[in-house]
């Protein structure tokens, strides 16, 4: 039997486009002689659909898509993820389902059993868990069809009381098919492969895995669909961060199931920095495509954060679609302007210089009656940032651009940013990268030639909102800060554990208090492209007005 894995990008709620892509892939696979083509989880409606799932019309369109797709499955079978109505008298309104389509109709439906309800996942809000376990018999083969999380309960300290494969294996399936929408993080690729290999080894049958590809707002799906032999060997991986399709031959012998692939991919070590770069480029590109925008604008300060965002935007959108605005003030150094000009020349993008000193002074004049007899301080610093924000948003609105935010995770964590100023934007590109990670990524980008000017990488970070200002005036060295923040945010360590890890107690109390006291700012920040296992946004839910460490 020939199985085709089809790793496609789907647009949430765009049923016409999603259905058309699925049907086209089915027709191509049929011409190649495939018996089954497999698509990812919730392919008809896109993942995550979130509260679109509460609308009857949305679910009806999903069913119409399945019905339409089934008509094209007369000479080939297809496995397609889609929501379906729970017709039982009790439970949640929907199931997260995998449809097995053949002979022009729905031949079988498998519902998802294990519904993740942690980090960015919220599936139990919408779906009822499956309680019936049945394999699919098709062309002399028996298939254990599972959906994403259904294979993840094999790790140590499982979070679910049951495992679907423990039930399905009793029916002696020949292989596993798993359809998924597994989002990218810096650790997810390795963890995902380990889970798939563990299943193949435990149940001693091959695993065919199809993952989603593309980006949906803050989530980035990296693809990496693959086939794992029963001995745990990954015999082929599909592409990462782009659409891909691959077919496999399955031969049933008296003693085993053999999987044959032409031109198998070579096993290779992944470069995490390259993966991060590709993930961010894909995240930007699809955010613009799915919203119907083409052009980006951003403020270029001469610092490393805006330089990195500018480079990534050019890679995602094309340098002809990126507009950089330099907005020097009386506190800006000449090298900041020079470094920014050198960067835009390297990238060959449009740029303009709009000095803000006069605009800033007009705000001070308006506020003079209230600010008089008080020293220059944080309010005046923030006014400069907000002046820049007003200019950028005015240009973005006037010319139909999306403003890209350039704040990093270190700054967002401790509140080192100005609401309605440098925190403006439609998308936070690097808000899930710590400052030290940004330096590492920029050095990687410059590995072959200097794209980001070396002076941007070597000079001390500064907001340049007052004379001779440095980030180190307010924050510990980023190497220390980022390690502390990672322990608190990603590793979810409390203050006692962090102190035991070697951090100075007063610094721990100060930084953790800054993180907690600035949650209100992050609620008003733009969506952050997710790169870590705990990004700011829907995956980290803490109260604004809580008292913990405040």
The residues annotated with a catalytic role in the active site are 41, 112, 148
Give the separation between CA 30 and CA 40, rounded to whole angstroms. Answer: 18
Using DSSP bridges, classify how beta strands 141-147 and 136-138 pair: parallel, antiparallel or unpaired.
antiparallel
3-state secondary structure 428-461: ECCCCCCHHHHHHHHHHHCCCCCCCCHHHHHCCC
In this structure, is the dihedral angle defined by the CA atoms of residues 173, 86, 72 and 11, taken in order, positive or negative? negative
Helix, strand or coil, per DSSP, at residue 422? coil
Q: What is the DSSP letter of 530?
A: P
Residue with tokens 């924000």: 389
Helix, strand or coil, per DSSP, at residue 190? helix
Report CA 344 to chain centroid distance, whole Å: 27
Using DSSP bridges, classify how beta strands 296-299 and 427-428 pair: parallel, antiparallel or unpaired.
unpaired
Contact 216, 13 (CB under 8 A): no
Contact 74, 36 (CB under 8 A): no
What region, left, alpha or beta, does residue 249 occupy, with left being phi > 0 and alpha being psi -120 to 50 degrees? beta
Instruction: Extract the tokens encoding 46.
Output: 């896109």
Does a cis peptide bond (omega within 30 degrees of 0) precede residue 205?
no
Give the separation between CA 534 and CA 522, rounded to whole angstroms. Answer: 14
Contact 491, 515 (CB under 8 A): no
At residue 507, what are phi and psi to the nearest 5 degrees?
-65, -40
Please state the length of the chain: 550
């Amino acid at each position: 039997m020939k199985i085709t894995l089809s790793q496609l990008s789907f647009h949430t709620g765009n049923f016409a486009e999603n259905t058309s892509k699925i049907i086209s892939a089915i027709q191509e696979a049929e011409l190649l002689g495939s018996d089954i083509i497999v698509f990812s989880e919730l392919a008809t409606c896109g993942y995550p659909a979130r509260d679109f799932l509460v609308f009857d019309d949305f679910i009806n369109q999903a069913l119409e898509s399945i019905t339409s797709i089934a008509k094209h499955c007369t000479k080939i079978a297809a496995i397609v993820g889609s929501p379906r109505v729970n017709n039982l008298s009790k439970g949640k309104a929907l199931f997260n389902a995998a449809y097995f389509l053949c002979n022009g109709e729905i031949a079988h439906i498998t519902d998802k059993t294990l519904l993740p309800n942690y980090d960015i996942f919220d599936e139990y809000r919408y779906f009822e868990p499956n309680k019936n376990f049945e394999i699919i018999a098709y062309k002399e083969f028996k298939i254990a069809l599972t959906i994403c999380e259904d294979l993840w309960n094999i790790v140590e300290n499982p979070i679910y009381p049951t495992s679907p494969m423990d039930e399905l294996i009793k029916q002696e399936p020949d292989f596993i098919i798993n359809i998924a929408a597994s989002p990218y993080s810096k650790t997810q690729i390795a963890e995902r492969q380990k889970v798939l290999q563990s299943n193949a080894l435990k149940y001693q049958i091959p695993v065919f895995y199809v993952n989603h590809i593309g980006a949906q707002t803050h989530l980035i799906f990296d693809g990496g669909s693959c086939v794992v032999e029963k001995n745990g060997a990954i015999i082929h991986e599909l592409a990462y961060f782009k659409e891909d399709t691959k077919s496999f031959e399955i031969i049933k012998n008296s003693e085993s199931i053999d999987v044959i692939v032409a031109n198998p991919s070579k096993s290779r070590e992944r470069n995490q920095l390259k993966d991060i770069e590709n993930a961010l480029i894909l995240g930007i590109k699809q955010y613009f495509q799915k919203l119907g925008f083409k052009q980006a604008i951003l403020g270029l300060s001469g610092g490393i954060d805006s330089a990195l965002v500018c480079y990534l935007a050019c890679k995602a959108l094309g340098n002809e679609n990126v507009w950089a605005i330099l907005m020097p003030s009386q506190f800006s150094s000449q090298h900041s302007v020079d470094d920014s000009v050198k960067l835009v020349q390297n990238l060959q993008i449009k740029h303009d210089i709009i000095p803000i000193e006069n605009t800033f002074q007009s705000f001070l004049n308006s506020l003079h009656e209230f600010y008089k007899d008080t020293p220059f301080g944080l309010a005046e610093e923030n006014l400069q940032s907000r002046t820049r924000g007003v200019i950028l948003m005015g240009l973005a609105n006037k010319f139909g651009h999306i403003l890209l935010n350039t704040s990093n995770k270190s700054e967002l964590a401790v509140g080192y940013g100005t609401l309605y100023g440098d925190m403006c934007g439609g998308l936070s590109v690097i808000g899930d990268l710590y400052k030290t990670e940004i330096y590492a990524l920029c050095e990687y980008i410059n590995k072959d030639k200097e794209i980001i000017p070396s002076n941007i990488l070597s000079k001390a970070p500064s907001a340049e909102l007052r004379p001779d200002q440095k980030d180190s005036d307010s924050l510990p060295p980023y190497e220390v800060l980022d390690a502390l923040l990672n322990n608190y945010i990603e590793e979810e360590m409390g203050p006692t554990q962090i102190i035991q890890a070697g951090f100075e107690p007063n610094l721990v109390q100060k930084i953790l208090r800054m993180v907690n006291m600035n949650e209100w700012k992050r609620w008003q920040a733009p969506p952050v492209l997710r790169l870590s296992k705990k990004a700011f946004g829907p995956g980290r839910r803490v109260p604004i007005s809580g008292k913990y460490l405040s």
